[in-house]
């Protein structure tokens, strides 16, 4: 249930995510079963496989995007087109030109597409109208752009904007390391990356290893900045903060999982409980991260 990676956006008008209006908009862009003729397709699917395209618990909304892509390597198309061109040459007595070869490749592609394997990829979206967050569960910029592109086609105009903070994450993380003092309610964990900003772009990484404060200061004095830092919020959620304000490797700590497993629940109740726990904890964690970066900045 827990999102692993967070691409974070701000909602400017949460009212457009009213459930009835949202469901109608999602239905117009629902994922359609493969007809065999498209190389790629994308649309909304039910987060809970119950037919509804949105799932809401305590005003927190969960969506799921499905992207489908045909596996049809160019080498396969080229080989089939070459064989077809050879048949034409033997039958007609001439070698197909560039324009005709292009047409042959297009016909071969259309013939092979229905038999090509399809790979599906699902990406989840969490919408928090209460605290005005929209979060995509991905570490990839291209996948986030894919989801935002579908959202733009689904809801027009889409009321979101990038999250801007008063202090850059790189400057803040560098300061925390240099002072050996994390912001209130946070601790620094064993994953750090420091990068030089000059031509060398030298990088120092500490993986599963605590960085000594004296080492950190030496690297910082030599011109490096912290671009990646593992942290824990309130002894409840661990994560890695990056210089681009992405949050990666999110994981609830044992205290949360143990408390949530104490109550006997069926599958639906457990899903609702997990979603309530995740959205509640992450909303507070995101507010803490923004506060640690000296608050939001309006452009």
Tens of pLDDT along 189-203?
989 999 998 777 789
Count of other CB atoms within 10 angstroms of residue 92: 9
Instruction: Indicate if the alpha-carbon torsion angle 162, 166, 171, 176 is positive or negative.
Output: negative
User: Crossing angle of helices 254-261/267-292, nearest 10°?
Assistant: 150
Going through the chain in order, the beta strands assigned E by DSSP cover 7-11, 40-45, 55-57, 60-71, 117-128, 133-136, 160-162, 186-196, 203-207, 224-233, 237-242, 247-252
Residue 264 confidence (pLDDT): 53
- Return the higher-pLDDT residue of 210 and 136: 136
pLDDT reported for residue 118: 84
Return the closest-CA partner of residue 188 out of 145, 140, 226.
Answer: 226
What pLDDT sits at residue 159? Answer: 95
- What token pair was written down for 81? 């087109």
- Backbone conformation region of residue 51, classed left if phi is above 0, alpha if psi is from -120 to 50, else beta: left
pLDDT category at 147 given cuts 50, 70, 90 is very high
pLDDT band at 263 (very low <50, low <70, confident <90, very high): low
CA angle 71, 75, 81 (to 5 degrees): 105
pLDDT for the residue 258: 63
Q: What pLDDT score was predicted for residue 135?
A: 98
Report whether pLDDT(40) > 90: no
- Residue 71: pLDDT band (50, 70, 90) is confident
Residue 208 pLDDT greater than 90, yes or no: no
The DSSP letter of residue 259 is: H
Structure tokens at 61: 């909304």
DSSP letter at 180 equals T
Question: Mean pLDDT over residues 105-110, rounded?
Answer: 80
Find the angle CA(240)-CA(244)-CA(250) to the nearest 5 degrees: 25
**pLDDT score of 257:** 63
Backbone dihedral region for residue 295 (phi beyond 0: left; psi -120 to 50: alpha; all else: beta): left
Q: According to the model, what pLDDT value does residue 144 have?
A: 97
- The proportion of the chain whose per-residue pLDDT surpasses 70, expressed as a percent, equals 95
pLDDT-derived band at 36 (thresholds 50, 70, 90) equals low
In angstroms, what CA-CA distances link 164 with 23, 161, 192, 292? 30, 9, 23, 13
The DSSP secondary-structure symbol of 72 reads: -
Minimum mean pLDDT among 88-102, 132-146, 175-189: which range? Answer: 88-102
Kindly state the DSSP code that residue 155 receives in the 8-state scheme: S
Q: What pLDDT does residue 78 have?
A: 85
Which distant-in-sequence residues (6+ apart) come within 8 Å of 86 by Cβ?
none
Is a pLDDT exceeding 70 seen at residue 35? no
Q: What is the pLDDT of residue 111?
A: 76
* N-to-C CA span, the chain: 34
Provide the residue count of the chain: 299
Question: In the block, which residue shows the tokens 């999250």?
Answer: 163
CA–CA dist 248, 2 (Å, integer)? 12
The SS3 of residue 59 is: coil
Cβ contacts of 261 within 8 Å, gap of 6 or more = none
Q: What is the pLDDT of residue 182?
A: 95
Mean pLDDT estimate for the chain: 89
- The model's confidence at residue 73, banded by pLDDT at 50, 70 and 90, is confident
Listed residue (178, 187, 133, 152) closest to 10, CA to CA: 133
Banded pLDDT at 51 (limits 50, 70, 90): confident
Confidence of residue 256 (pLDDT cuts 50, 70, 90): low
**Can you tell me whether residue 282 is helix, strand or coil?**
helix
Of 82, 3, 72, 5, the C-alpha closest to 247 is 5
């Amino acid at each position: 249930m827990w999102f692993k990676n967070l691409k974070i956006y701000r909602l400017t008008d949460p009212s457009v995510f009213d459930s009835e209006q949202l469901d109608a908009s999602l239905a117009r862009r629902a994922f359609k079963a493969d007809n065999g003729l498209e190389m790629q397709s994308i649309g909304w699917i039910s987060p809970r496989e119950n037919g509804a395209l949105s799932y809401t618990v305590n005003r927190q909304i969960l969506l799921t995007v499905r992207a489908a892509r045909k596996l049809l390597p160019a080498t396969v198309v080229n080989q089939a087109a070459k064989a077809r061109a050879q048949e034409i040459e033997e039958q007609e007595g001439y070698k197909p030109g560039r324009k005709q070869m292009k047409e042959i490749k297009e016909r071969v592609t259309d013939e092979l597409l229905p038999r090509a394997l399809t790979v599906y990829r699902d990406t989840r979206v969490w919408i928090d109208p209460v605290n005005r967050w929209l979060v995509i569960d991905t570490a990839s910029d291209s996948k986030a752009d894919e989801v935002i592109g579908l959202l733009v086609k689904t809801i027009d105009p889409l009321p979101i904007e990038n999250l801007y903070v008063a202090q850059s994450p790189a400057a803040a993380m560098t300061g925390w390391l240099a002072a050996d003092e994390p912001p209130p309610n946070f601790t620094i964990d064993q994953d750090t990356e420091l990068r030089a900003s000059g031509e060398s772009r030298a990088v120092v990484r500490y993986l599963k290893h605590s960085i000594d404060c004296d080492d950190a200061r030496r690297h910082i004095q030599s011109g490096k900045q912290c671009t990646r830092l593992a942290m824990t919020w309130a002894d409840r959620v661990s994560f890695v903060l990056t210089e681009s304000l992405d949050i990666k490797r999110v994981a609830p700590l044992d205290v949360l999982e143990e408390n949530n497993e104490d109550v006997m629940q069926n599958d639906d109740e457990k899903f609702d409980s997990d979603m309530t726990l995740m959205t509640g904890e992450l909303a507070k964690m995101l507010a803490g991260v923004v506060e640690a970066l000296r608050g939001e900045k309006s452009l």
